[in-house]
Structure 1
Amino acid sequence: MQLTAPVTTGDESRPAARDADGMAVASFILGLLGLLVLNIFLGPIAIVLAAVSLWRGTARRGRALLGLTLGIADLAVLGIAMELSHTLSWSL
């Protein structure tokens, strides 16, 4: 039984914005990692996370845009590497 009202802070009143900020950071990190490994998987995930975080109105707009750019770059690197190696994957 709770006799008092729960204490809320300013951060708890906007959980969607906090989630959007986390998605922006995750898209940036996954886009950056995708340039090195698993770009066929990490690139599209970074693009989707960046788009959703921008749609939800993240406070980290720059990081979301970088994640979007890096996700697109992941797919571009994969396409170029596949064209040069004439295979469906690439290696260093």
Structure 2
Amino acid sequence: MAQHPHPDRLVDLGRAAGDLGRAAAATGDELLDALTMVGDHATQRAVDNAVDVLVAALREVSADMAEMALVLGSRGSSSTVQQHLGDVLPSRPQGPA
């Protein structure tokens, strides 16, 4: 596969996608934390359903942006990717060594 003429731009775009994904995930978590009880059963069900749909959409955005960050980062030069990979991808727990 041909090298992209501007691999730094791809890595920068990947970093921005990673940032967007992390922001979407954080927003979904904050939305769930801020969910309140409204008292009326029918209204509460409507609010819960709307929040569930929005949180699911934010999780999809987060997953898609993590994937995009990985793909775009892999299209950059290997030295540039190694330099920025930690900034682009969401942190994941490390297994036993």
For the criterion TM > 0.5, the same-fold answer is no
Tell me the TM-score normalized by structure 2. 0.41
Tell me the TM-score normalized by structure 1. 0.43
Bigger helix share:
2
